[in-house]
């Protein structure tokens, strides 16, 4: 594009705006405002402004669905006169988010030289802090809704629905041809004009071999993840940072690979650019819906770590040993979970486990009603190998008394391989929340794995594993009372070495989803401050109306905690040291030595 053209566009845009400001805005004009008198000189393609231009048909008033004027709202939000863009080649990145203009924690943090602990030195701006809180409070009843009901409630919204624009966080997935694939809210078909707009924005930069990453407006942040043949976009008012939102888009992208593999995704669009991917993904929307929801209410995704089940080392180890002894010949992982927590995992010696893959597996288990059946499905673990499928056998284990009581008293190390599994007395079967997942590369291995599960289930029962598990389930969750620290409300402890974390039970006020969401939001804020700060920041806190939340980061751990807002930061800081000491003494938090084969 020539400079002349850009000049023209600029002129056109000015003319248009002056005469038609506020009218139907349907066309997009982007121009390089910094081009002529380059203020941001570091790169050749620094785009500082994005402008929506007004255009034809302004005297037509639209009322029915999917009209130009309906897109306007989005465009206006998407691209504002004063919005700033950050793009990959731009090294200078300015943030214009109003909240952060008014209140910058950076200003409050006074770095203490030669110390690994730094904290805010001034409580001054509490009003502004409260503003952050208030702006991040959700007023939806989403948390208590099943994904099915959620779809039912919001699934038919489109650009005209007044509620649609109000959602705090949208996720869109489209093909690089601009065809809709997924929208968190609303019917993606009806949003296809919007998808076209998104594609146009992306192509505009594509022409110059540039990539758009993020648009900041005073109210919204729009983050792009370009993974040709797919584009993923998040439009958020949640105050999460670009990095945090990008990570969420990466999760959604990996969720698609989970169902398709990268090989297939590439091949499909190589064969047919215009392919409508929804036809291959149908049935997996629920995974995306659940992920989108969990980003705001589950700390695993922020922490990039696995939630572990607290259990005595001997019990954890004997579970691992049993799993390993009775495992099928040809598997990748054997995974035992309790709800969303990992009890133990067995794996090949040379193979590591990536938390992201585990998150996708746990998301699959928890999103579907596997409860009473043995399920068998092809899945792809993107971090392990994005190119091929594995087959996942998933089944919840039953707790039962063996009908043959004599047998249960006999030597527990009986070799079972020769016997056929003893059928349990059906009247005494008790379902548990303990779930066994076995991953095999062999698509015909179902019966083998199913038999193996029966064996494991039985040997677990013989050894009272399930009984012992169910006994400690109440104690497995970390209780805030364990610390004996007054005013302490919530703690998350993450081991950086093991990439696992543990969290205290959600006691009041955090038993309320909206409060917990707020807490998580404040942790996210602290996380972004710690990881976004130039100097080696180790400690950060934030005082709000509802709580005092803190984050302390060291090489081997991250410790998040929340206190009553009425205690002083000094007390909280000293308490944090005690909490850390307490954690250091525990040996039952994480899977430290998993069984390998």
Partner 1 sequence: MSGKNLLKAIILGDSGVGKTSLMNQYVNKKFSNQYKATIGADFLTKEVMVDDKLITIQIWDTAGQERFQSLGVAFYRGADCCMLVYDVNNMKSFETLDNWRDEFLVQASPKHPESFPFIVLGNKIDLEESKRQISQKRAMAWCQSKGNIPYFETSAKEAINVEQAFQQIARNALMQEADVPEFNFPPSVSLDAEQKQDQGDCNC
Site for partner 1 in 25-54 (CB under 8 A): 26-30, 53
C-alpha 241/C-alpha 532 separation (Å) is: 10
C-alpha 576/C-alpha 580 separation (Å) is: 6
- Rounded to 5 degrees, φ, ψ at 308 are -100, 155
Asked if residue 441 binds partner 1 (CB under 8 A), the reply is yes
* Residue selected from 3, 21, 22, 60 as contacting partner 1 according to rule CB under 8 A: 60
Return the range that interacts with partner 1 (CB under 8 A); candidates 4-12, 147-155, 247-255, 504-512.
4-12
Question: Nearest 5°: CA angle at 479, between 474 and 482?
Answer: 120
Handedness of CA 267, 272, 274, 276 (dihedral sign): negative
* Residue selected from 497, 531, 535, 584 as contacting partner 1 according to rule CB under 8 A: 497
Asked if residue 251 binds partner 1 (CB under 8 A), the reply is no
Of 162 and 209, the one with the shorter C-beta distance to partner 1 is 209
Of 62 and 140, the one with the shorter C-beta distance to partner 1 is 62
Asked if residue 332 binds partner 1 (CB under 8 A), the reply is yes
Q: Nearest CA to 117 among 494, 543, 576, 524? A: 576
Return the range that interacts with partner 1 (CB under 8 A); candidates 130-138, 215-223, 351-359, 542-550.
351-359
> What is the CB neighbour count within 10 angstroms for residue 572?
22
Which of the 8 DSSP states describes residue 189? T
Query: What is the three-class DSSP state of 549?
Result: strand
With beta carbons less than 8 A apart as the criterion, state whether 48 and 84 touch: yes
Of 38 and 264, the one with the shorter C-beta distance to partner 1 is 264
With beta carbons less than 8 A apart as the criterion, state whether 514 and 137 touch: yes
Asked if residue 394 binds partner 1 (CB under 8 A), the reply is no
- What's the closest the beta carbon of residue 585 comes to partner 1, in angstroms? 20
- What's the closest the beta carbon of residue 241 comes to partner 1, in angstroms? 19
Asked if residue 499 binds partner 1 (CB under 8 A), the reply is yes
Return the range that interacts with partner 1 (CB under 8 A); candidates 118-126, 215-223, 406-414, 496-504.
496-504
- What's the closest the beta carbon of residue 172 comes to partner 1, in angstroms? 14
With beta carbons less than 8 A apart as the criterion, state whether 501 and 467 touch: no
Which of the 8 DSSP states describes residue 31? -
**Residue 509, preceding peptide bond in cis (omega within 30° of 0):** yes
Of 170 and 489, the one with the shorter C-beta distance to partner 1 is 170
Of 195 and 252, the one with the shorter C-beta distance to partner 1 is 195
Asked if residue 3 binds partner 1 (CB under 8 A), the reply is no
With beta carbons less than 8 A apart as the criterion, state whether 110 and 233 touch: no
Q: How far is CA 439 from the centre of its chain?
A: 23
Length of the chain: 597
Asked if residue 432 binds partner 1 (CB under 8 A), the reply is no
Asked if residue 67 binds partner 1 (CB under 8 A), the reply is yes
* Residue selected from 185, 391, 501, 525 as contacting partner 1 according to rule CB under 8 A: 391
Asked if residue 329 binds partner 1 (CB under 8 A), the reply is no
Asked if residue 264 binds partner 1 (CB under 8 A), the reply is yes
Asked if residue 273 binds partner 1 (CB under 8 A), the reply is yes
Question: 185 to 204, contacts with partner 1 by CB under 8 A?
Answer: 189-197, 199-200, 202-204
> What is the CB neighbour count within 10 angstroms for residue 23?
16
* Residue selected from 22, 111, 124, 348 as contacting partner 1 according to rule CB under 8 A: 348
The residues, any chain, with a CB within 8 Å of residue 122's CB and separated by 6 or more, are 108
Asked if residue 5 binds partner 1 (CB under 8 A), the reply is yes
Asked if residue 594 binds partner 1 (CB under 8 A), the reply is yes
């Amino acid at each position: 594009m020539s400079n002349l053209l850009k000049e023209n566009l600029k002129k056109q845009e000015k003319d248009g705006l002056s005469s038609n400001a506020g009218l139907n805005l349907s066309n997009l004009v982007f121009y390089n405002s910094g081009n002529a008198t380059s203020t941001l000189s570091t790169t050749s393609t620094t785009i500082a402004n994005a402008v929506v231009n007004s255009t034809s048909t302004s005297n037509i008033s639209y009322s029915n669905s999917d009209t130009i004027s309906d897109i306007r709202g989005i465009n206006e939000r998407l691209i504002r006169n004063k919005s700033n863009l950050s793009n990959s080649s731009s090294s200078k990145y300015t943030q214009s988010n109003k909240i952060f203009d008014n209140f910058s924690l950076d200003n409050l943090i006074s770095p203490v030289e030669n110390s690994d602990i730094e904290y805010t030195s001034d409580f001054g701006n509490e009003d502004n802090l409260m503003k952050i809180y208030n702006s991040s409070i959700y007023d939806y009843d989403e948390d208590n809704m099943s994904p099915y009901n959620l779809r039912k409630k919001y699934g038919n919204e489109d650009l005209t629905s007044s509620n649609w624009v109000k959602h705090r966080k949208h996720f869109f997935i489209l093909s690089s041809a601009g065809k809709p694939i997924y929208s968190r809210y609303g019917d993606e078909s009806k949003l296809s004009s919007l998808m076209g707009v998104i594609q146009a924005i992306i192509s505009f930069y594509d022409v110059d071999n540039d990539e758009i990453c993020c648009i900041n407006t005073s109210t919204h942040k729009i983050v792009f993840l370009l993974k040709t043949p797919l584009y993923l976009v998040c439009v958020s008012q949640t105050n999460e940072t670009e990095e945090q939102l990008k990570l969420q888009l990466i999760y959604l992208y990996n969720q698609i690979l989970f169902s398709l593999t990268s090989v297939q995704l590439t091949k499909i669009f190589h064969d047919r650019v215009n392919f409508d991917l929804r036809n291959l993904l149908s049935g997996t929307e629920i995974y995306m819906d659940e992920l989108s929801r969990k980003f705001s209410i589950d700390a695993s995704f922020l922490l990039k770590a696995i939630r572990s089940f607290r259990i005595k080392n001997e019990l954890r180890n004997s579970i691992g040993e049993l799993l390993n002894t009775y495992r099928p010949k040809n598997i990748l992982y054997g995974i035992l979970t309790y709800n969303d927590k990992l009890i133990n995992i067995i794996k090949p010696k040379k193979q590591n486990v990536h938390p992201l893959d585990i998150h996708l597996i746990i998301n699959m288990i928890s999103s579907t009603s596997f409860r009473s059946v043995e399920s068998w499905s092809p899945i792809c673990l993107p971090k392990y190998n994005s190119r091929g499928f594995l087959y996942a056998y998933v089944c919840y284990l039953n707790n039962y008394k063996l009908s043959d009581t004599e047998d249960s008293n006999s030597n527990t190390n009986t070799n079972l391989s020769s016997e056929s599994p003893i059928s349990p007395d059906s009247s005494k079967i008790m379902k548990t929340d303990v779930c066994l997942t076995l991953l095999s590369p062999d698509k015909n291995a179902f019966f083998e794995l199913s038999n193996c599960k029966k064996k494991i289930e039985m040997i677990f029962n013989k050894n009272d594993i399930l009984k012992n598990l169910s006994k400690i389930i109440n104690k497995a969750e970390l209780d805030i009372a364990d610390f004996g620290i007054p005013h302490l409300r919530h703690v998350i402890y993450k081991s950086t070495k093991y990439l696992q974390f543990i969290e205290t039970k959600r006691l009041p006020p955090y038993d309320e989803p909206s409060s917990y969401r707020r807490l998580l939001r404040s942790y996210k804020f602290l996380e972004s401050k710690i990881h976004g700060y130039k100097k080696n920041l180790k400690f950060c806190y934030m005082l709000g109306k509802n709580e005092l939340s803190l984050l302390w980061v060291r090489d081997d751990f991250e410790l998040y905690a929340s206190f009553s807002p009425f205690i002083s930061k000094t007390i909280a800081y000293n308490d944090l040291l005690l909490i850390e000491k307490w954690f250091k003494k525990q040996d039952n938090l994480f899977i430290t030595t998993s069984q390998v084969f």
